[in-house]
Chains A and B, each alone.
Chain A
């Protein structure tokens, strides 16, 4: 093939591209790709469907609201709950042209991914990484998260424990970012005595619910604090009930959900459980709206951090619409008093959210309600 024909082919190609560009500009809505790092493999793979379902709901709502102007696409990649895999996944997401990334769930994965995303100039909003290690990460300001660090919920839990009249609680927590952070912070904000503390790995087959329950009873504890996810929390509560434990049971946002009862086989055991969770915005029904949409879409059972995932995507989309050229500054602007399904979010200088207090919920029988709230200024009301 001589150089002439090569040149002509090139010029034709260029023409075609220009033409396509013209067509795209004139009629097509803008396509915006948003990446989602979901832990499809690894230790918390069972929660991946919930994150993805929540993401899909946010995207379909966005596409409905902005029909004609924007087409939002959710690009899901597997973070594997591991820094290496998450880094590679983030790279692939960036290679496929995402404007921003939502994720990851595990803190180690988030740190591995931001090491890729920050140099590429792609902001990341994590929906479930609660580790304090993220606040000081070397991220050039590209890392945000919509979950508050555990420190505050631990204070709320301590207040609730005291209000329930417990004096000698046992603290059972998972040895992952979420559980260990809550457990340590509780121990430092709780002024009374702690009967016994035990960490456990929530992977099935790694912990023995009945031994943990037995240790609570053997220690003569009058109450139990449970920093767990739904499945392991249900196993431990059932074991406590089997061993005849009658004291108070207090949980954190991992179990503070009406659907928590689905994780039980003997649902009567849940009776009397008190649990805290982030308080939704004041005069809004964003939370109930999201929950009913999630249920209507047939979202996965026993899910965690779905509201946060939904909010993260909505915040990103709103910032892209307001300023597509400079998402980073726009994200900070959007993320100020943003009223979402998981609470009211305001990013601070580290990209963290402080939260607006917690709801104190309880199970009476199997009925779930949240009659009280806790805020750092007013305490329990």
Chain B
């Protein structure tokens, strides 16, 4: 026995994996078809959960097998196979679906209208690529994933709308139908969207990103800064154009039901599952032709045309060569005389411009509102990861694949969903790109683009080799070439002609450049003179300061980067925030108690989520954009398990449910490490944000994740909360008296006590853990993964442990969150309101410092409350801030009417503010403020309010006391 085992262990590990995966496959197969196998026999799972588990098991078995084949395959074939992985993944999906349906004895008919699929696929890929191409160019040259790219697209859309509302063009869009298409407005809006969005991108690049480049900021920092920028931009759009949807109508004839290209089509029927006398594939020939709307054609042609132009620029012009040079090595490019900043500027212009053009054309198809940006950004991220970030052919192929997948997923999900009693399954169409991406990354962690590049390099190499080996040209071929001679002559003539034209253009360009240079020089001189004068007359900063008798150097006495200093800063900031809580307005003692309890609970929830993020990102260095994923798992599991049995729940005790939720979340965190820990930083970020979205959509579309009501309505509600009846029958009255209420204290008071206790306990555990050698290992992984590996640490295990611990903490936050809201609704997982806020708290509070996390969370919650007070103050003159909000409104309306009015027409204002009074949307002002704070923090100190206290080895006692003295008294 032992000998056999020994021999097994000597086999290569992939063989074991093969056995494992084949076992998984057959176990699932027997489970599905014959109702036998390990999962079925255990009898733990029943009904829908059972077949879902078997479905996942079979999927995992097959994907693991494919992965082993990919790893073991000969290097010559590898890249070719990787390029075909999307098809493999799709086929695997179909096969497993067929097994599932056969096992259940159901049949599904999937209808594919071929022309509809093709044209819808093209439409979706055009939509996605207009963001993805900008993302990829930015990534290629500037090396960061730009969250603000979708907002550039929206800017383009709103440029088109503003143009439509202008006095010159409005008559065109408002003209009655006359049967003839008018091109004027759409062409002008495309061009101006490109230029104006490009200029906006350029300005943002020069104002924000240039400073980061000068500071040699890491891609991670720039990515987060771009998140802040995107918040500001989206908020601006919301404030100016409101949240309501608007359509861009280039001409009324564009959207007539007859304004389509009729494409003849065939309908393909796929019968899956229990096929009774039906073939697997059936072609229905006699179907109406498919109408491809003109506006969609305009988008597809416009975007792909622009991308071809872009490819031309990249490969045939000197600007393109410079861009590629900067992308490869910006230092080397600078030393060879390339003006790197200028290249960055043109990159920003081009990438934003193309997205803007896409936005303008998209506005003619979809009703536009600022919410659209985020919806389209995430699939675009999936595309660039799929096609290997920074690879342009990759992004084109990736977008075509994702577009086609998006178009195919709707008929598939409708067919399969109806067969499986899941008509809501269509909701998953939105997240299919992510599910597909995650499946693909398991197979090819570097994406398709790198495989394409490898394949291309090999092809070129082979071509060179065969050219070298070629001895004499084929005589027969020669004859053909002789015949072609006149053609080549004309061609060469034409090339010479084109070259001459190009020279003339170059001369003209030089001339224009020179003129601009002289004029700008003159302008510069003038402004310099003017500035000098101003400087001369105005008092300098030091004058003012000395006049006030303040010495700036003595302002900050506390060294925040020492242990004691950090504590003191923490105490001061905490007390300050607590004071603000104290003075927040309220009515009676009861409402004040409710308010404070709510603030304590919210701060605790956000602090726990921040702890989790800090562990993942601040200490281990994994950029986790899916905090809400783990929080959501906690909330969903707790809600489902403790909801009443009668309504689709499990009726557990909430404490047990919490423990199980924490364990499940930790397990998922641990497992997540295996496929993702070796991914690049940005891949990991995108995978985690995608997971959060997948969970949110599952809450919308999966009936198993609904509980608490008698019908199959959405959301999880009516779950029991911990010790609720004990509290209401016991101590609540006493606490109520203690707090000076006339009635017994509400449950939220108890919840706030539980939350505060959990924060303290988790904080203590984290501090103990992080002070241990393990904490230092995590930091070393963050600082330099390779060095840490050289020291003999198993990076994968440590990352997995960190992910698991963080996920467990986040799940606890999720449980508290579910108890506070008394329900888990899909909308609670909106990343703007959760993940991004948690990130803001993390950045502002101070990365790597748990004290900072609490301050950051506290700050975010207080800002929320203050802005709410401001929003509410509009309603009555007796409320605080009322005058301030009306003043803000006045400033805003002055900006819209008098400043902006120079650019846009009156109609564009009245369309948005139909009643004439221009009101500033304060919730969006808050969004902008948070964005500004993120960018500002990163730009100024980049370490946050409470920077990480560097852990130093203990020194001899006398020098240690010196250090302490410095920290406290200086």
Residues of A within 8 A of B (CB): 31, 33, 40-43, 45-46, 48-49, 73-78, 80-85, 87-89, 91-97, 106-109, 111-112, 114-116, 119-121, 131-133, 135-138, 151, 171, 175-177, 180-181, 183-185, 187, 196-201, 203-208, 210-212, 214-215, 217-219, 231, 235, 238, 241-244, 265-266, 268-269, 297-298, 300-302
Q: Does B687 contact A (CB under 8 A)?
A: no
B residues 408-433 near A (Cβ < 8 Å) are 410-411, 414, 417-418, 423-427, 429-430
- Contact across chains for A84 and B709 when beta carbons are under 8 A apart: no
A327 to B713, CA, bound (A): 31
B833→A85 contact, CB < 8 A: yes
Choose from B255, B711, B869 the contact partner of A238 (Cβ within 8 Å). B255
Residues of B within 8 A of A132 (CB): 709-711, 713
List the A residue with the shortest CB-CB distance to B744: A119
User: A115-B822, A206-B430 provided; 17 other pairs, C-beta below 8 A?
Assistant: A43-B830, A84-B833, A91-B868, A95-B587, A96-B875, A108-B828, A111-B715, A111-B822, A121-B590, A136-B708, A151-B711, A177-B715, A210-B293, A211-B116, A218-B267, A265-B252, A269-B257
Q: Are B821 and A84 in contact (CB under 8 A)?
A: yes
Asked whether, in the complex, the Cβ of A175 is within 8 Å of the Cβ of B424, the reply is yes
Q: By the criterion CB–CB under 8 Å, are B366 and A96 in contact?
A: no
Question: Within the assembled complex, what's the spacing in Å between the Cα atoms of A201 and B410?
Answer: 12
A84 in contact with B817 (CB, 8 Å): yes
Q: How far is the CA of A334 from the CA of B924 in the complex (A)?
A: 37
Q: Total A-B pairs in contact (CB under 8 Å)? A: 322
For A212, the closest partner residue in chain B by CB is B410
Interchain nearest-CB distance for B697 vs A (Å): 7
Q: Is B256 located at the chain interface by the 8 A CB criterion?
A: yes
With A133-B713, A199-B425, A218-B111 known to touch, is A95 a contact of B823 (CB < 8 Å)? no
Q: Is B872 a contact of A93 with CB atoms below 8 Å? A: yes
Q: A46 with B375: in contact, given A76-B875, A88-B598, A96-B876 (CB under 8 Å)?
A: no
Q: How far is the CA of A203 from the CA of B594 in the complex (A)?
A: 34
Q: Is the CB of A136 within 8 A of B709?
A: yes
- Which of B244, B425, B927 interacts with A300 by CB under 8 Å? B244
Given known A83-B823, A87-B598, contact A78–B709 (CB-CB < 8 A): no
Cβ–Cβ contact B828 & A82, under 8 A? yes
Residues of B within 8 A of A111 (CB): 715, 717, 821-823, 825
**Across the interface, do B713 and A131 meet the contact criterion of CB distance under 8 Å?**
yes
Q: A197 vs B424: C-alpha distance in the bound complex, in angstroms?
A: 8
Q: Is the CB of A204 within 8 A of B718?
A: no
Within 8 A of A (CB), among B219-264: 238, 242-245, 247, 249, 252, 254-257, 260
In angstroms, Cα B594 to Cα A121, docked, is 11
Q: Residues of B contacting A75 with CB < 8 Å?
A: 872, 874-876, 879
Contact with B718, one of A40, A87, A133, A212 (Cβ below 8 angstroms): A133
B922 CB contacts on chain A under 8 angstroms: 78
Contacts of B592 in A (CB 8 A): 95
Chain B nearest CB from A316 CB (Å) reads 15
Query: Which of the residues A78, A107, A215, A241 comes within 8 Å of B715, measured between beta carbons?
Result: A107
Contacts of B874 in A (CB 8 A): 75-76
Q: Does the CB pair B113–A218 fall under 8 Å?
A: yes
Q: Any chain A CB within 8 A of the CB of B367? A: yes
Residues of chain B in range 3-24 having any CB-CB distance to chain A below 8 Å: none
Please determine whether B718 and A92 come into contact, CB atoms closer than 8 angstroms. no
Residue of A nearest to B249 (CB): A265
B598: chain A residues at CB < 8 Å are 87-88, 91, 116
B956 on the interface (CB 8 Å rule)? Answer: no
Q: Which of B616-646 contact A (CB under 8 A)?
A: none
Contacts known (A49-B242, A82-B830, A231-B245); A181 close to B868, Cβ less than 8 A: no
Query: Is there an interface contact between B585 and A95, defined as CB atoms closer than 8 Å?
Result: yes
The answer to the question of B384 belonging to the interface, with a C-beta cut-off of 8 Å to chain A, is no
CA distance A100 to B547 in the complex (A): 54
A45 to B369, CA, bound (A): 10
- Kindly state whether residue B714 has any CB partner on chain A within 8 Å: yes
Interface range on chain B (Cβ under 8 Å from partner) = 35 or more
Say yes or no: is B272 at the interface (Cβ < 8 Å to chain A). no
Q: Chain B 337-380 against A: per-residue CB contact (8 Å), 1 yes, 0 no? A: 00000000000000000000000000000111101100110000
Is B423 within 8 A of A183, CB to CB?
Answer: yes
Q: How far is the CA of A210 from the CA of B263 in the complex (A)?
A: 14
B875 touches A175 (CB 8 A): no
| One of A84, A95, A184 near B713 (C-beta < 8 A) | A184
Partner-A contacts on B (CB < 8 A): 111, 113, 116, 120, 123-124, 127, 177, 238, 242-245, 247, 249, 252, 254-257, 260, 267, 287-288, 290-291, 293, 366-369, 371-372, 375-376, 406-407, 410-411, 414, 417-418, 423-427, 429-430, 584-587, 590-592, 594-595, 598, 602, 697, 700-701, 708-715, 717-718, 746-748, 817, 820-823, 825-828, 830, 833, 864-865, 868-869, 871-876, 878-879, 914-915, 921-924, 927
Q: For the complex, give the distance between the alpha carbons of A64 and B586 in Å.
A: 29
Minimum CB distance partner of B869 in chain A:
A92
Contacting pair A119 B820 (CB below 8 A): no
Whether A40 contacts B594 by the Cβ 8 Å rule is: no
Per the bound structure, the CA–CA distance linking A323 and B302 in Å amounts to: 65
Given A46-B244, A95-B595, A211-B410, are A205 and B820 also a contact pair (CB < 8 Å)?
A: no
Residues of B within 8 A of A137 (CB): 717-718, 822
Asked if B584 contacts A201 (CB within 8 A), the reply is: no
B914, A300: Cβ atoms under 8 Å?
Answer: yes
Q: A268 vs B255: C-alpha distance in the bound complex, in angstroms? A: 11
CB distance from A188 to the nearest CB of B (A): 8
Q: Are A203 and B371 in contact (CB under 8 A)?
A: yes
Residues of chain A lying within 8 A (CB to CB) of residue B875: 33, 73-76, 96
| Given A77-B868, A88-B602; A41-B924 close (CB under 8 Å) | yes
Q: What residues of chain A lie closer than 8 Å to B714, measured between beta carbons?
A: 107, 131, 133, 175-177, 180-181
Smallest Cβ-Cβ distance to B586: which chain A residue: A95
Cα-based distance from A235 to B251 in the complex (angstroms): 17
- Compute how far the CA of A175 lies from the CA of B696 in the bound complex, rounded to whole angstroms: 12
Among candidates B371, B430, B585, residue contacting A45 with C-beta atoms closer than 8 Å: B371
With known contacts A41-B243, A41-B924, A177–B713 Cβ distance under 8 A: yes
Listed by A's residue number, 13 A-B pairs whose Cβ atoms lie within 8 Å are A46-B244, A83-B825, A83-B827, A91-B865, A92-B871, A137-B718, A177-B713, A184-B713, A198-B410, A211-B116, A211-B407, A266-B177, A302-B245
Contact B713 A204 (CB under 8 A): no
Given A84-B821, A175-B427, CB of A198 within 8 Å of CB of B594 = no
Nearest-neighbor residue (CB-CB) of A219 within chain B: B111
In Å, the complex CA distance between A306 and B772 comes to: 60
Residue from A116, A181, A208 in contact with B410 in the complex, judged by beta carbons closer than 8 Å: A208
Q: Determine the distance from Cα of A300 to Cα of B243 in the docked complex, in whole angstroms.
A: 12
**When A and B form their complex, which 9 residue pairs have the shortest distance between CB atoms, in order from nearest?**
A108-B825, A197-B423, A45-B243, A75-B875, A119-B746, A83-B821, A218-B111, A199-B424, A92-B868
> Distance (Å) between the CB of B710 and the closest chain A CB?
7
Question: Once the chains bind, are A115 and B375 in contact (CB under 8 Å)?
Answer: no
Task: Give the nearest-CB partner of A243 in chain B.
Answer: B291
Residues of A within 8 A of B914 (CB): 298, 300-301
- Tell me whether A181 and B713 are in contact (CB under 8 A): yes
Nearest-neighbour CB distance to chain A for B262, whole angstroms, equals: 10
Contact status B833-A82, CB under 8 Å: yes
Q: Which of A40, A84, A109 contacts B820 (CB 8 A)?
A: A84
Q: How far is the CA of A77 from the CA of B113 in the complex (A)?
A: 47
- A215 and B411 within 8 A (CB): yes
State the Cβ distance, A80 to closest chain B Cβ, in Å: 7
User: Which residue of the partner chain, among A80, A116, A171, contacts B923 with CB atoms under 8 Å?
Assistant: A80
Determine if B828 and A120 form an interchain contact, defined as CB atoms under 8 angstroms apart: no
Q: Take A75-B875, A219-B111 as given contacts and tell me if A242 and B124 are in contact as well, using a CB distance cutoff of 8 Å.
A: no
**CB <8 Å contact, B827 and A82:** yes
